[in-house]
Amino acid sequence: MLESGKITPGQAGFLMIFTVLGTSNLVMPVLTSRYAQMDAWMTVILASLPHVLLIFVMNGIRKNFPQESIVSYLKKITGKYLGILIILGYLWYMIFTLTMINRTVSEFLLTSFMPETPIEVFIIVMLLLGAWVTKAGLEVLARVATFIMPLFLISFALIFLLLVGEFNFSYLTPVFEYGSKPVIRGAIYPTLWRGEYVLMLFLWPYLNTPEQGLRSLLQSAVIIVLVMLPITTASIAVFGPLTPHMYFPTFALVEYIELVGFITRIDAVFMAVWIAGAFVKIGIFYYCICLTLGEVLGLKDYRYIVYPVGIICGALTIFIAPNVAVFENLFPTVLIPMNLLFQYLMPLLILGLIYLRGLHKEKRGEGDGV
Amino acid sequence: MVFNKLKEKFKGLWADKKTPPPNQEEKKLLSRSLGKNEKYFRDTFNRCSDVIFRKFEVSVPDPVPVLMVYLDGLSSFIVGESVVRSLMNRYLKEKRRGDEPLAEHARDHLISVPEIKPEKDLGKLVDFVLSGDIILIMDGEPEGLVISSRGWEARSVSEPEAEPLVRGPRDGFTENIRTNTSLIRRRLKTSRLKLESLEIGSITKTAVIITYIDGIVNEKLVAEVRERLARIKTDSILESGYLEQFIEDNPWSLFSQVDVTERPDKVCGNLLEGRVAVLVDNTPFALIVPVLFLQFLQTPEDYYMRPFQASFLRALRLVTLNIALLLPSFYIAITTFHQEMLPTSLLLSIAQARSGVPFPALVEALLMEMAFEIVREAGIRLPSPMGQAVSIVASLVVGQAAVSAGLVSPAMLIVVALTAMASFSLPSSHATEAIRLLRFPIMFLAATLGLFGVMAGLLVILIHLCSLRSFGVPYLSPIAPLTLRDWKDVPVRAPWWAMFTRPRLIGYKEPQRQEFFQMPRPPKRRERKP
């Protein structure tokens, strides 16, 4: 294995919280309320079902191959060539998601703060930060996440607490105004975002106590619900029917905050904290790409390919869409099918193959012998 | 081709390196003839005016010539006198048995000095002379005697000037390593306190002592310290700062990974947590490893104060750390990019104050920060009577005149003054050094990218801090990696009865420090006196 460091299950939970909340705080209420309208807050809860299922599926997969990385056990499950094909698919998924994250963050900075700065500046800065944390390794990435986590959570708590007075709960009623179908359709976006937990397939071998991973991942799933529910509720309760038509509603919420009469427009401070969160998310994806690609290519150290990967991702981030409108269009047309395939179908498929080929019994037999 | 020519030209340089260093002396033994030995010592200490040769005769019962060599100023006069007196006593009561060697007889019966040992090696005898011992060589004897007599003029124990406290012991380390070890030993009266001695530097032969408490410290850590110190091949160690740079984990980091103190109580507190201290002769500054970043925000006094005050001060220092690092950058970012963050009235007054200033905020800030750094440096290096002159010039010229001349705005002046005070409020100059240097790049980032730039800079620092280790211990623990058990001593300071355990990553060999549940409570009703 290319990584010598180990992280604790708690740190893995922190990392996974960032993969979901790192960018979803910016855009999630818009995407869900486009379908579910004022019932958007329910989508958060609904999305927990596939999310928890995914965690259990991944736990089922890794139980059979406790000390192996996904690259090596996929070859055992599906055969060499198909395994590499699946891994390449995952690599493409991760590279594409990284560029989408990076573009979202950069667009956010561009439209909200510095409209005159070329977008390339943000793209390059974020990728450079990701490259450096990737070079520093998994342990450092986990520690950075641990350090930023409290700031990140406090920022959400502050939004909720400082805006309680502005809430208009009548926006939330009537519940199920358009029936339950839009809610289910709206739940697809939070489901996809939380499907990024699939990165645990790549990180699980590096836990120091892998058997506790399931517990801490479930805990982190609870934390995500506890954060996303208030945020979605807040943006609907404050902006009401306007929510689907905004770009970054959570951010607009922050602009709404006014503290003791003279502290206003503290959005720049929140922006700084959220950039830190988005940076961790970019770092995790970046790390997983380099680690997996390094293993597929048979390198001694994944650090050799950190900068080449960065150049590819940077160029892709710029070429992926000429403007925001085209970029937004990528979410339903490309992201949804791709994410559904790699986040949910593929792990299920792998688990199914393990059981079909009887690999789980083999492992258990060995375990009994020892 | 050019390279080859250069190589030809400087061939001599490379050739020189291959010859063995001249200080490697062969092991020469003492000769039985006093004349030969005397010639050796006279040759060795040729043109050394502080070496004293004293030749006299001992009659036991036949007269035997004896040579005494010592360094004037390094050896105690009283010991020297007692040696000469006891040997020149004509009425020696004890008669020597015929077969007993004279050296042994003198050691066991004649010389009344506690520490005395035989030595054959000439090179070692020379070393002993150089470190202040008296050596005695007798005619016809294969062994010389080394009489411990080290004693020289030294500064007495006084209050440490760099780390003053309001409440706490007033003694500090001195330049004498023995005094320093005695200051530690006086506080830790246990045989588990180990003091391993070694010598570093081919010319200075500086005594270095590794100290730790056996059983509390992690042996791997001690072995690592020993190994890193043994790796040092140099001619001189004049201060513990030399060692520090040789043994750091990441020498290219701005942040110090070794703590420095001249307070014996701080060293003892750290030893009790399972750390290792390195004492160096001829300097009052001892090194402590491993160190955590947040330790730089703590003082020994935190542990002597009541917990509430100490916790408040620790929180305050966290704030001042951020002010010292970020305030100028925040000012630049807000005035150039995020004016909307300011309340309107404040924005107007700042804009008014800045209206006459010809520079952008970055240049203004750089000017004032540089001025402040210059004043600070000037104030430290000057003798104290002239320091007043510096402060007058600084406050009048740099402060008032710069504002009235319209070079800087008063707001900028407030920012710089606050930054300066904040950086002075940090207890360890070690920590402020990095903060002081990092302030400038972050100011540039703030001027180019606003708060996004500041955050990017902070993230780079965070990545660096997270990847740092001090002797294997993560620098940012117990925050990252998270060790909630240690938080009783890091962001706050719990009362002493609640400090059950030592830091988890450092003192895990013997984690429990004291009995649990010792909170003072009022006596139960029955036990109360009527």
User: Is residue B479 less than 8 Å (CB to CB) from chain A?
Assistant: yes
Report pLDDT digits (tens) over B277-303.
999 999 999 999 999 999 999 999 999
User: Is residue A111 less than 8 Å (CB to CB) from chain B?
Assistant: no
Residue B340: closest C-alpha in chain A: A265
CB contact under 8 A, A147 and B338: no
Report pLDDT digits (tens) over A252-310.
888 888 776 677 778 888 888 989 999 999 999 999 999 999 999 999 999 999 999 99
Report pLDDT digits (tens) over A210-226.
999 999 999 999 999 99
From the list A224, A166, A228, A155, the residue with the least C-alpha distance to A14 is A224
Tell me which chain B residues have a C-beta less than 8 angstroms from the C-beta of A125.
Answer: 449, 452, 456
CB contact under 8 A, A113 and B482: no
CB half-sphere exposure, B346, CA atoms < 13 A: 13
Using DSSP's 3-state secondary structure scheme, residue A134 falls into helix
Check residue B20 and give its pLDDT.
52
Let me know: does B475 contact B294? Beta carbons within 8 Å: no
User: Is residue A143 less than 8 Å (CB to CB) from chain B?
Assistant: yes
CB contact under 8 A, B341 and A137: no
Q: Testing the interface with B: which of A127, A144, A263 to mutate, by most B Cβ within 10 A?
A: A144
Q: Which of B22-31, B175-184, B456-465 shows the lowest per-residue confidence on average (mean pLDDT)? A: B22-31
Check residue B430 and give its pLDDT.
76
Calpha distance B265→B304 (Å, rounded)? 11
Using DSSP's 3-state secondary structure scheme, residue B70 falls into strand
Arithmetic mean of pLDDT over chain B: 87
Tell me which chain A residues have a C-beta less than 8 angstroms from the C-beta of B455.
Answer: 271-272, 275-276
**Shortest CA gap A178–chain B (Å):** 40
- Of residues A367 and B138, the one with the higher pLDDT is B138
- CATH superfamily ID and name for A9-360: Amino acid/polyamine transporter I (1.20.1740.10)
User: What ipTM does this complex have?
Assistant: 0.93
Residue A12: closest C-alpha in chain B: B481
Q: Confidence band (pLDDT; 50, 70, 90) for A367?
A: very low
CB contact under 8 A, A129 and B459: yes
Which two tokens mark B304?
Answer: 């002597």
Check residue A49 and give its pLDDT.
93
B146 sits in which H/E element: strand B144-147
Choose the closest CB to A143 out of B338, B458, B474.
B474
Calpha distance B44→B51 (Å, rounded)? 10
Q: Which of A243-252, B268-277, B305-314, B500-509 shows the lowest per-residue confidence on average (mean pLDDT)? A: A243-252
Report pLDDT digits (tens) over B469-522.
999 899 998 888 888 888 888 888 999 998 888 988 888 888 888 888 888 888
**What phi and psi, each to the nearest 5 degrees, are found at residue B288?**
-125, 130
Choose the closest CB to B466 out of A121, A125, A140.
A140
Check residue B248 and give its pLDDT.
92
pLDDT above 70 coverage of chain B, percent: 92
Domain boundaries, chain A: 9-360
Report pLDDT digits (tens) over A175-209.
777 888 888 888 888 898 899 999 999 999 999 99
Let me know: does B427 contact B296? Beta carbons within 8 Å: yes
Check residue A37 and give its pLDDT.
80
List the B116-119 sheet strands across, edge first. B51-59, B63-71, B134-138, B144-147, B116-119
B473 sits in which H/E element: strand B473-474
Radius of gyration over alpha carbons of chain A, in Å?
21
Average pLDDT over residues B232-250: 93
Check residue B517 and give its pLDDT.
80
CB contact under 8 A, B450 and A268: yes
Per-residue b or e along A205-215, where b marks 16 or more CB atoms closer than 10 Å to that residue's CB: bbbeebeebbe
How many C-beta neighbours within 10 Å does residue B55 have? 12
Tell me which chain A residues have a C-beta less than 8 angstroms from the C-beta of B474.
Answer: 143
| Res. B12: pLDDT tops 70 | no
Let me know: does A105 contact A126? Beta carbons within 8 Å: yes
Tell me which chain B residues have a C-beta less than 8 angstroms from the C-beta of A275.
Answer: 452, 455-456
Per-residue b or e along B362-381, where b marks 16 or more CB atoms closer than 10 Å to that residue's CB: bebbbbbbebbeebbebbee
Tell me which chain A residues have a C-beta less than 8 angstroms from the C-beta of B338.
Answer: 113, 265, 268
User: Is residue A60 less than 8 Å (CB to CB) from chain B?
Assistant: no
User: Is residue B347 less than 8 Å (CB to CB) from chain A?
Assistant: no
Choose the closest CB to B481 out of A11, A269, A276.
A11
Q: Confidence band (pLDDT; 50, 70, 90) for B186?
A: very high
**Shortest CA gap B476–chain A (Å):** 8
- Residues of B (422-451) whose Cβ lies below 8 Å from A: 449-451
User: Is residue A146 less than 8 Å (CB to CB) from chain B?
Assistant: yes
The residue written with tokens 């975002």 in the block is A193
From the list B384, B383, B373, B429, the residue with the least C-alpha distance to B241 is B429
Most confident of A154-163, A329-338, B353-362, B440-449: B440-449
Q: Confidence band (pLDDT; 50, 70, 90) for A368?
A: very low
Contacts of B104 (CB under 8 A, 6+ apart): B118
